[in-house]
Structure 1
Amino acid sequence: MPRFRATAVVAAAALLMAGCSTGPGLAKTNSPRRTVQAGADASSTDPSVKPSAQPNKPVDPAFASERLRLINPCALIEKELLQTVGTPSKYSSSSYTRCSNYMKDKAGKTLTITLDIGYTLSSSEVKNATKQLAGLKSGEQKLSSSCFITAVTQENPAQAVRIQVSAGEGAADPCEPGRKVLEGAVRKLRGNPQKYSPPKGSPVEVDPCTIVDKATLAPVLGASPRSTPFGLHQCSWSGQSAQMQLEFRTTRIPKDGKFDSKSVEVDLGGVKGYQAFKDNSFPTCELVVVRTKDSSDAGEIAEFTVAASKEKELDRCQAAQTFAKAVLPSLPAA
C-alpha cells in the first residue's frame, strides 16, 4: 500500500526551549519524517503490540508518554555522557523527540549519535529485543558501520528509547559506544531531565490519539476505525479504504504559507489553513495549521491528513477541513 509522504522537516525545537537556561540547546537540521501505512484494513492488528500487556502502560512511570512529550532529548545525551565515548560537538534536532550529535570518537574518527524517545517499534524490533540494558528489554541491529539499539519502555503499543550510532571508516564496533550512551540516557530519563518550556499555543503536550473522537472520524472511516499511534505526536485511523492522520511537529514556517508547492489557503472559521491535494495512487489531502511561530519563523504545526482509495467517493480536502475544525477548539489556545 502507498504511504503518506515523508518530507524533510526543518527543526524549530529551539522555540520550545524559551526559558530553559541549562542543558544543551536544540539547533535546526533536516530529517525525514516517519509515516504510517495508509489504506490498512480496520480489522487488522498491529504486530508490534504485545496483546498481553496493559494498553498504554509503560514498564516504569518515568517512561509514560505524557511525561516523555515534554522532555528535551538533547538533555539525555549531555556533554558529560558523550565525553565517555569521544569528543562531542554541536547538538541538533529534527523533531520534538530526536537529538543528534555529530562528534568524534576517542580515536578522532567520525561518530554520529542520534537518540529518539517514544520511538515506535516494528514487529521485528520487538522480536529482536532479547537482551537487557539498564534494566530494560533491549535489541541490537548492527550493520557495517552503524548500530541501532533499543530499550523497550512500553509494550502495548511497543515503544522504546532508541539510539543510532554511525561510525567512520575503520572505526571500532559502533554498538559499544551506543550501549554506553543509551544506558546513560535511560538513567537520566529516570531522573529529572531538562524539559521544554513550550510557548503559548504549543501542541507538544497533546496526545493526538485521544483528542479526536469517533464522531469526527465516522463520516470518512465508518463506526469502528483502527487507531495507530506513531511516536508521541502522530496518530492515524484506518477504515473503509480510507485513512485520517493527525501530527504535531516542529518546522520552519514559510512566509507565504506554501508548505507545499500546491498549497492553497483556506478559512477554518477564523483560522488559516494551508491545504495541498495529491492525486496519486491513494489520493490525499494534507492540511497544515500553524500553532506557534517566533521571530525567526521557527514554529509548530498541526497537520491533518485525509486519504482514500481512488474508488472511494470522497472530497478529501473538504473532509480534512471538517477534521481540523472539529479538533482545533480542543488544542491549547495560541
Structure 2
Amino acid sequence: MHVVPRFRAAAVVAAAALLMAGCATGPGLAKTNSPRRTVQAGAEATSTEPSAKQSTPAQPGKPVDPAFAAERLRLVNPCALIEKELLETVGTPSRYSSSNYTRCSNYMKDKAGKSLSITLDIGYSLTSTDLKNATKTLAGLKSGEQKLSSSCFITVVTQESPAQAVRIQVSTGTGSEAAEPCAPGRKVLEGAVRKLKGNPQKYNPSKGSPVEVDPCAIVDKATLAPVLGASPRALPFGLHQCSWTGPSAQMQLDIKTARIPKDGKFDSKSVEVDLGGGLKGYQAFKDTSYPSCELIIVRTKDASDAGEVVEFIVSGSKTKEFDRCQATQAFAKAVLPRLPAA
C-alpha cells in the first residue's frame, strides 16, 4: 500500500524533499496512523458558474464547515492531501517538499511529460478582494480563480471572517513546455478538499511543539498595551501568525518550522539573549524605515537540526521612541509560559 509522504519540519527551503513513497519526520511532527477513507481523488471539478452558493451560511469567526476549523487544520499534513494517487490523475508525481506547516509542493510532470508544479496551502489568508472575486464553485464551496500566462491560482473559501481558503498554485513550463494550468489545478484541489473533509493524515506533536497554538488567542491585551495602547487591532495571517497594530507600532507572533543554525544566528545580526530560567533566544535589531527587533526562540529540534521556533517582533515608526528589543523580550516572557512546555 502506498505510504503517504510525511512532512519534514526542517524545511525552510522549498527544496527540502520528502520522498514520494518514503517518509521523513521532523521534531514533534511525526505521522499519526488513522483509518483511510476512500474518496474520489481525481473527480472532475463541479460547476464553475458564477453566483454559486454554499450550503452553509457564512458566520463571523466560523468556518463554512466544521472540517475547516482552524484547530483542526493546524494539525493536518498538507502533503497527505495531495498524495500520489491524486497527483497521478494529472501526471507523474515527483518528490514532495514543504516550507512550512501548511504548505506542500510537488514538482512533477503532466501526462504529456511537460513540467507541472503544484503547491497546496491550507488556512491561506484571503484579501477582501479575493473573497469578492470568489464567484465560482469547486467541491461545493465558493471558489476564485486567477490565470496568468503559465500559472493558475485557485482557492476554495473555507471561512469568510476572517477570510481563509485552501489554495492551489499550478505552474507549467514556458514555450514548448507550456500547458493549460487551471484544469489540473481544479482536479487536484477538488480531490484535496474532499480528502480534507474526510479523515486526513495529521501531525502527532511531541512535547514542546507549538503547532497547535492559536497565536492570536495566546496573547492578551495587558501584554500588548505597553507598546500598542488599550485597543490594539488583531490581524491573523494563516494559521500560525498574528500581528497587532496600535498608534505607530506593531507586534507580531510567528510560529513556524525552521532549520536551526548551529551557532544560533538566524540572522547575521543575531545576538544571544538570556530570558531567564535557562532559556535563551536570538535577537536582531533592524534599523529600517520602520525599525524593529526580532527575537527567535527554539521550541523543538532534532538531530538533523530540523526544528520549530516562535518569533516575536516589535516594530514602530522612527518618531515613536522606545526600546524595541526590551519590548520584544517582555513580549516573549509574557507569552512563553502559555506555550507547550519544551
Do they fold alike, i.e. is TM over 0.5?
A: yes
- SS of the residue aligned with 2:312? strand
- 1:263 aligns with 270
- For 2:34 and 2:116, the matched residues in 1 are separated by 25
Q: TM-score, length-normalised on structure 1?
A: 0.87
1:86 deviation in Å? 0.2
Pair 1:10–1:199, CA change in 2 (3 A): farther
Q: 1:98 aligns with which of 90, 103, 113?
A: 103
- For 1:166 and 1:160, the matched residues in 2 are separated by 19
- For 1:54 and 1:173, the matched residues in 2 are separated by 36
Structure 1 residue 143 corresponds to structure 2 residue 157 = no
What whole-Å deviation, never above 9, does each CA across 1:255-302 have from its counterpart, x for those lacking one? 111010000111111210110000010000000000000000000000
- 1:226 aligns with 233
- 1:155 aligns with 160
Q: 1:304 aligns with which of 295, 299, 312?
A: 312
The 8 Å contact of residues 98 and 117 in structure 1, kept in 2 or not, is answered as yes
- SS of the residue aligned with 1:166? strand
What whole-Å deviation, never above 9, does each CA across 1:195-231 have from its counterpart, x for those lacking one? 0012210000000000000000000000000000000
Query: Superposition pairs for residues 173-322 of structure 1, below 5 Å?
Result: 173-270=180-277, 271-322=279-330
Query: Superposition pairs for residues 321-332 of structure 1, below 5 Å?
Result: 321-332=329-340
- SS of the residue aligned with 1:14? coil
- For 1:114 and 1:145, the matched residues in 2 are separated by 14
Query: Superposition pairs for residues 161-176 of structure 1, below 5 Å?
Result: 161-169=166-174, 170=176, 171-176=178-183
Pair 1:59–1:19, CA change in 2 (3 A): closer
1:53 deviation in Å? 4.8
- SS of the residue aligned with 1:9? coil
1:61 deviation in Å? 0.0
Q: 2:25 aligns with which of 14, 35, 54?
A: 14
Counterpart of 2:263 in structure 1: which amino acid?
Answer: D
Counterpart of 1:125 in structure 2: which amino acid?
Answer: D
Work out the number of aligned pairs and report it.
Answer: 299
Structure 2 segments unaligned to the other structure (5+ residues):
1-10, 17-23, 36-56
- 2:77 aligns with 72
- For 1:258 and 1:126, the matched residues in 2 are separated by 39
- SS of the residue aligned with 1:100? strand
| Percent identical residues | 80
1:22 deviation in Å? 8.8
Q: Moved runs in structure 1, 4+ residues, more than 6 A?
A: none
Counterpart of 1:223 in structure 2: which amino acid?
Answer: A
Counterpart of 1:69 in structure 2: which amino acid?
Answer: R
- 1:4 aligns with none
- SS of the residue aligned with 2:320? coil
The 8 Å contact of residues 10 and 250 in structure 1, kept in 2 or not, is answered as no
- For 1:287 and 1:239, the matched residues in 2 are separated by 20
- For 1:280 and 1:118, the matched residues in 2 are separated by 30
Counterpart of 1:218 in structure 2: which amino acid?
Answer: A
- SS of the residue aligned with 1:144? coil
- For 1:325 and 1:55, the matched residues in 2 are separated by 32
Counterpart of 1:289 in structure 2: which amino acid?
Answer: I
Q: TM-score, length-normalised on structure 2?
A: 0.85
- For 2:219 and 2:160, the matched residues in 1 are separated by 23
Pair 1:145–1:19, CA change in 2 (3 A): closer
Counterpart of 1:277 in structure 2: which amino acid?
Answer: F
- For 1:22 and 1:86, the matched residues in 2 are separated by 27
- 1:333 aligns with 341
Pair 1:19–1:78, CA change in 2 (3 A): closer
Pair 1:19–1:77, CA change in 2 (3 A): closer
1:176 deviation in Å? 0.2
Counterpart of 2:332 in structure 1: which amino acid?
Answer: A
1:56 deviation in Å? 1.8
Structure 1 segments unaligned to the other structure (5+ residues):
1-7, 24-51
